[in-house]
Structure 1
Amino acid sequence: MNRFGRSAVLTGAAFVALVAAIAASATTAKPDRSTAPTAGAAVTNYVSYVHGKRGKADPKKSKVYIGWVNQQGGQVVIGGLATVGAQLAVRYVNDVLGGVRGHPVALVQCFIKSNEEEGTTCGQKLVNDKRISVIATGAVATGAQSLFATVRGRKPIVTGVAVTPVDGASKNAVVLFGDGPHILLPFGNYAKNVLHAKTAAVIYPNAPGIAEAGQVIAAGLKAAGIDTKQVGYTQGQSDLTAPLTAVGATTADFIAPYGSAADCANQAKSLQQLGITDSRKIMTAPLCLNSTVIDALGDWSKWTYAIASSLYGDKSDKGMPAYEAVINRYKAQKNAPDPWHIVAFSELLTTVRFLNEAGAKNVARITPARVLARAKAFKGPLALGAPKLQCGKYKDAPAICNDMFQAFTYLGKFQWKRASGWIGPLGG
């Protein structure tokens, strides 16, 4: 058990207290001036980024192992393509970036399907494997608390986007792209300073990890002084016209539908039925940029998306060509746009960077402590991510390294328009 209580996902008073504490600092802050539609610093060369050497890893040398945990294979899957992104990064590292000091990299994988206890199983497996000096995770909600409780800081954990606050609370972890309580708060900054909104409506399903994120969005909007209504509905509910009407979506200046890919499709259909189609004032997270939505609607919804990573195909992002080159090399276009694929690909490249730094003189010198030290010292820019990082900025969430996103409006047929530059919470 940790300080968040028994559940791996904050609920009730504990969650409300956390969000209120984070949002409170924004209530009297000056407006963030980073909303201009320009991109930030970018990583354009992966060889130099990972401190590698161009060429194949030597198959005759001993392997360097990275533990990998993702929630997949069960009924609830948040980032199923995270594993594919991680695997692609490892393949590319071994084929082109010289592995870790010439040694091939290998993933030791463990998946959580549906039970909290499976986090314990994965933690035991990876902690007891002496070959592993660092553990990377994908989208883990169920089992996150058990995983961290089992690892107990004996090995550092690198996360792309944290689904629960457990990751961010760990002193022996880094969360490169941030978590919900921090990267969703800037919704308020965007609504206030880009749209000049006075009223807002937030809607989300009552599902673990999803409802809490929706509450964070609402908290950020309220902290910005915006009159905000919010409603959670039964998970799996398809007709959402009633809850949308109840939350005032038909007259709100800003609307934030939040949910999984399946939720996104239902939300879009109901918004269209109500005649709510202004793409600039409807903002969500990149969970909706999924093939499931295309299957249901024929295309992604023409909304604005808050993205804490790079956007696939963004021509204003100088770091995108490097990623696209890898995608083309391995013919991975189908998975390339998925945000979890992008995040995990970057996460594994960055983990390899930490390993190269820790084993600069000899891979035998790679230890969990040395890897953690390199991770904590990393200031960015992050490959396919924020132009700068500040791990340890938040005392109650020392592992969180980023609290910014950039906004894009989807025009249809895979065409985008930048709606803001990198933007953080008010006063951030």
Structure 2
Amino acid sequence: MRRPLMGAALSALALTMTACGSSGSDSTSDAPAAGASGKPITVGYVNMEGGALSFPDVRIGAEAGVRYVNTELNGVNGRPLKLMRCDVDGTPEKSIDCANKFVEAKVAFVFQGIDPGVDAMLPILKSAGIPITGHSADAPGQQADANAMAFGTAAPASLSAPLKFYSQQDVRSYAFVLPEAPWGHAVADKVLKPASAALGMKPKLLFTDAANPDWSSLVATAMAGKPDMIGGPVLTDEQCAAFVGALKNTGYRGKIFGGTCTSAFAKAIGNEAAAGVVTFSDMWRADGAESAPAAKQKEIKVFEKGMKAVGKPDTLNVFAEAPFSDAVNLARILSTIKGEITGPAVLDALQKTKDFDLFLGPVVTCDGKAWPGQSNCGNSILFYENQPEGGVKVVSDGYLRLTPADLAPAK
């Protein structure tokens, strides 16, 4: 399976995460009886679920977000959102199948969870005037598609942000572990190497079989030369636990970057062992609520209440946060549409979004200028540090915002 540059945590793990398990099905989620009661707005919902790689938390977060929109926000001007679910497995064939079903059902737009095969559906959706949106752009075509818009941080910005963050701490050398895959090398060649050169940093980029990594060997190689920081931008929780554990077992006490790892890895190795590991996200995390501004703390409570309402009070990770946030953001933006909610009207409203305060996220403008050539609205990242007593704390000065100018080659 091929993989391009990733977005933030939500899409970055699509090829390296171990199976989570799911029944998987194509279905339509009816609007709740309470709340919005107008004519439903049918929305195509696509997510990778039910196969060898499965992300049910993403779908659950989307459903919880839609339920909150319908019951607490009066839907979209009184009309409830209604998700038409179609599961994918990462292959172009399945994505095409879902696209055809969405066209036949005449959905207003497609709401995407995780779909590495999404590029295959883009021509079908575009010809039917159906835009696609979600949190991250999962494939190169989608990243540059004028019929697509994603609320999250653009892949080049999110992957360069750790280098900018650490360069501000006088880190001049680092070792990163990356998957031995085409997209892993693309990350290295197109983002990490040029960003390192611009920031005056010396990289050591190590590639490993994501399915069978030799952590002892990787740790030994990473530590050779005594880099200022060791880690990886797209480690899964399982990989993070193994890698950090192996590093700590050697007595290493330097800086560790855990990338996209969530609180699950800390639970696996213990809070004391995980303490000091830095991770990143483009959202205010529920397990780091005390670090968030007061307004965002209120939004975190809304998210927690929303997950409790669907019977998932412990599903408070970024995989659920991002789609919950997207559902709320979509409802607010769609409510500005005057007249019929059609595909072109939805795309126009999305792309006219300016200085918009994302639910659980930063302020964004969706005119394609956050990172030229990318369909994402965002270019900002938060950095968290795991605490010995559990949970995380923001250690960046709020959001770290990147533009291409921040990574211009040094003169």
**TM-score band (shorter)?**
0.7 to 0.9
Q: How does 1:7-46 map to 2 (within 5 A)?
A: 9-10=3-4
SS at match of 1:185: helix
SS at match of 2:383: strand
Offset, 1:107? 0.5
Between the aligned partners of 1:290 and 1:124, the Cα distance in structure 2 is: 38
Between the aligned partners of 1:273 and 1:163, the Cα distance in structure 2 is: 35
> What is the TM-score normalised by the length of structure 2?
0.81
Match of 2:35 among 34, 45, 57: 57
Aligned to 1:232: 207
Q: Which amino acid aligns with 1:259?
A: L
Match of 1:173 among 142, 148, 165: 148
Match of 1:116 among 74, 92, 112: 92
CA contact (8 A) 1:86 1:345 kept: yes
Aligned to 1:100: 76
User: 1:199 and 2:181 equivalent?
Assistant: no
Between the aligned partners of 1:75 and 1:218, the Cα distance in structure 2 is: 32
1:304-354 residue CA offsets vs partner (Å, 9 max, x unmatched): 112111121322323132231342355243111x11211111111112223
Q: Which amino acid aligns with 1:203?
A: V
Between the aligned partners of 2:78 and 2:98, the Cα distance in structure 1 is: 28
When structure 1 is superposed on structure 2, of 202-211 and 227-236 the one drifting more is 202-211
* Structure 1: gaps of 5 or more residues: 1-6, 16-54
Instruction: Return closer, same or farther for 1:56/1:97 CA change in 2, 3 Å cut-off.
Output: farther
User: 1:335 and 2:315 equivalent?
Assistant: yes
Instruction: Return closer, same or farther for 1:423/1:329 CA change in 2, 3 Å cut-off.
Output: closer
Q: How does 1:365-404 map to 2 (within 5 A)?
A: 365-379=340-354, 380-393=356-369, 397-404=373-380
When structure 1 is superposed on structure 2, of 177-186 and 248-257 the one drifting more is 248-257
Match of 1:296 among 265, 268, 273: 268
Say how many residue pairs are matched.
365
Instruction: Return closer, same or farther for 1:394/1:355 CA change in 2, 3 Å cut-off.
Output: closer
Q: How does 1:306-385 map to 2 (within 5 A)?
A: 306-312=280-286, 313-317=288-292, 318=294, 319-328=296-305, 330-331=307-308, 332-336=312-316, 338-358=317-337, 360=338, 362=339, 365-379=340-354, 380-385=356-361
SS at match of 1:9: coil
Between the aligned partners of 1:198 and 1:407, the Cα distance in structure 2 is: 19
CA contact (8 A) 1:134 1:371 kept: yes
* Structure 2: gaps of 5 or more residues: 6-32, 407-411
Q: How does 1:174-189 map to 2 (within 5 A)?
A: 174-189=149-164
Offset, 1:81? 1.4
Aligned to 1:164: 139
Q: Which amino acid aligns with 1:304?
A: V
Between the aligned partners of 2:377 and 2:235, the Cα distance in structure 1 is: 24
Q: Which amino acid aligns with 2:3?
A: V
Instruction: Return closer, same or farther for 1:99/1:114 CA change in 2, 3 Å cut-off.
Output: same
Between the aligned partners of 1:249 and 1:56, the Cα distance in structure 2 is: 61
Instruction: Return closer, same or farther for 1:230/1:378 CA change in 2, 3 Å cut-off.
Output: same
Aligned to 1:270: 246
Between the aligned partners of 2:346 and 2:45, the Cα distance in structure 1 is: 16
CA contact (8 A) 2:69 2:327 kept: no
SS at match of 2:74: coil
**Cα-Cα RMSD:** 2.6
Higher helix share: 2
Offset, 1:90? 0.7
Aligned to 1:73: 50
Q: Which amino acid aligns with 1:201?
A: A
Aligned to 2:196: 221
Q: What is the percentage of aligned positions where both structures have the same residue?
A: 21
1:374-399 residue CA offsets vs partner (Å, 9 max, x unmatched): 11111222111122335311675241
CA contact (8 A) 2:161 2:381 kept: yes
Higher relative contact order (CA 8 A, sep 6+): 1
> What is the TM-score normalised by the length of structure 1?
0.78
Aligned to 1:50: none
SS at match of 1:401: strand
1:58-110 residue CA offsets vs partner (Å, 9 max, x unmatched): 44x32111111111222234x44111110000111111111121122210111
